[in-house]
Chain A
Amino acid sequence: MSRVVVCTWGTTGGAEELLTLARGTAAALDATLGWLVLGPAPHDLTEIASRQDVPIVDRIEDEKLQSFGGDVAIAAVAAYARQHDFRLMLVPQTFDARVLAPRVAARIDAGVVMNGVGVGMEGGVLAVTASAYGGDTRVVYALDAGRFVVGIVTSALTAAPAAKPASAVTRHCPVDLAGVEERVRVVARSEAAGPRIEEADILVAGGRGLGEKANYRLVQELAEALGGMAAASRPIVDEGWAEPARQVGLTGKITRPTLYIAAGISGASQHMVGCAAAKTLVAINRDPDAAIFKYARFGIVGDCLEILPALTRAVKG
């Protein structure tokens, strides 16, 4: 029987959503569901495996996997793939996964697709739907025969528990990593500066509609009043109005806050990729036809330079 395996490492962000997707895919393929966990077990491993009805959790524990290192993690997954057959391996598309997935695929001669937003059967053939053109289009790739490693953007997925929970069996899968050394050496890291927008509950994001760098302050002030964080679109990060760590979108951060206020942002697909999972999205734009309103729950048509300070006053007042 073929298998659909979800591979994760580090924290379990996105894992449960991905397991829900994988469970459905496994059922459609008449395959079994597996979960491969690299390195230390996340604290909620057992509960998630149970809720998602994962029969077997495979674990690779090795001293070298305490933190994510490209060469070691890739060697570990490739070694696992040589020992354990599967039809499809799904990885949550993190920064590191973008390197891991294709390199593992090359080593085991599997096909690879990134930016997946869904997996299913298309005319009787396993297929993955992925975003393209910065989210302007969706492409459906057929995964005809052989093995595949697919990166899935988990922010738009939802987790649903299995009809009947199971108690997973843990299987330890030792691999020999003795000869594997990192070929890329980290010599310096900039200080991780405080909280990250990926984890923020409230985000206020500014775009070109702010007009000039000095006006980014208005975004920061509203964010502060709301107890949230300031974020930014790519154009204003490229302009140097905000730091890269605040960039939301395809080439920035994928966020999923409770509230996302987009001020002076047109709503280009490549930006929406990073905020579409917000529970409540508020759009402020001068142009009533701006694409951002299509995604928003609430909209205000007007100049964000007037509306941002008015919102700050309304929050404080």
Chain B
Amino acid sequence: MALRIVVCAKEVLDPDAVNNYALEGRLVIGDDGRSLTQSSIPRLMNAYDEQAIEAALRIREAGVQCTITVVSVGEGQDILKHAASLGIDEPVAIQADSGTLDQHGIAKLLAAFVTSRGGADLVLCGRQASDDDQGVVPALLAEHLGVPAVTIARSVEATAAGGELGVRVVRVTPDGDETVTASAPVVVTISNELGQARYPTMAGRMAARKKKIASVTTAELGIAGEELRPRVTLAKQFVPTVKSSCEMIPGNAEEAARALIARLRAESVVR
């Protein structure tokens, strides 16, 4: 039987573009006081989610028979087209106004989707989204599904010891790499250490044009009202200001270096 993989993906504002605006001091918050509305910032798939798709594709390439579904809550049709061009089996959009949902609501919808498909053996998520950086949806999803969560993976291998499906994951921890195993079903979050995600091939792009993006509604998932009520509401967003007090040390490399070390010694910062 094929391993059923579901990858969760989110559309975000390009974090590099946001960072460039921030570094230039030109990042502005929209009139609602809550969101970044600069239209020149592109929207794309959260990079960690792209790496989660990459992890799924690597499992397939390792010879594991599997089906790969990529699901996204909200409008994000473009990121699902991108996913389709990478050779996944089924792109699915959950129709919902992502602006009114919090992490809790998103996780509820994703869990309901997985359950509606009769479950998944492996759910792959990016470690966090590069917009809110919260990283809580995978853990909430694991709880709603009643399965373990293995976080911050650099590699994921599907196992089938004695006919029991499972994973072998190398995690990146502050103390170094840790190899863990868990039985399926399981949620695994992917970190940037997985390495570069692939680009779509021309053939993949052509095939994606013909691929239909499946669409499900919250009503079809049997979720509504109170269950999606946000626990946490975004009140406002702002760009933090930094009060600069930098003292520039002049001179050529040798002079500046000697002057700096002298200053640091005078302040007992170095011996």
Q: Enumerate chain A interface residues (CB-CB to B < 8 A).
A: 70-71, 95, 98-99, 101-103, 105-107, 110-115, 122-123, 125, 127, 130-144, 146, 148, 183-193, 196, 198, 202, 226-227, 234, 238, 244-245, 250-251, 253, 258-259, 266-270, 279-280, 282-283, 291, 293-303, 306-307, 310-311, 313-315, 317
Contacts and interface: CB of A to CB of B under 8 A. Distances in A.
B178 A139 contact: no
A9 to B, nearest CB: 15
A272 B132 CA distance: 17
A125 B242 CA distance: 27
Given A251-B192, A298-B260, A191 B235 contact: no
Interface string B74-101: 0000000000000000000000000000
Nearest to A143: B232
B160 interface: no
A148 B139 CA distance: 15
A139 B18 CA distance: 15
Nearest to B33: A140
Q: Which 10 A-B pairs have the closest CB atoms?
A: A111-B231, A106-B143, A310-B257, A102-B139, A102-B136, A190-B176, A183-B148, A306-B253, A136-B22, A188-B179
Contacts of A245: 174, 176
B27 interface: yes
B256 interface: yes
A123 B263 CA distance: 45
A177 B147 CA distance: 18
B232 A141 contact: yes
A314 B139 contact: no
B23 A291 contact: yes
A282 B175 CA distance: 27
Contact of A95 (B13, B132, B174, B233): B174
Determine the main DSSP class of A at the interface with B.
Answer: mixed
Given A244-B193, A311-B257, A139 B181 contact: no
A134 B19 contact: yes
Nearest to B178: A189
A133 B235 contact: no
B202 interface: no
Given A137-B36, A186-B178, A298 B140 contact: no
A142 B235 contact: yes
Interface of B: 13, 15, 18-19, 22-23, 27, 29, 36, 102-104, 107, 127, 130-136, 139-140, 142-144, 147-152, 168, 172-183, 191-193, 231-240, 242, 244-249, 252-254, 256-258, 260-261, 263-264, 267, 269-271
A228 to B, nearest CB: 9
Given A186-B180, A269-B19, 18 more contacts: A95-B174, A103-B140, A106-B140, A111-B232, A115-B134, A134-B15, A134-B133, A183-B182, A184-B181, A189-B176, A190-B176, A234-B192, A267-B23, A293-B244, A299-B249, A302-B253, A307-B253, A311-B257
Given A186-B179, A311-B260, A137 B104 contact: no
Contacts of A189: 175-179
6 contacts: A99-B139, A111-B102, A136-B239, A267-B23, A269-B19, A300-B260
Contacts of A146: 231
B256 A307 contact: yes
A226 B270 contact: yes
B233 A144 contact: yes
B130 A106 contact: no
Contacts of A137: 18, 22, 27, 29, 36, 237-240
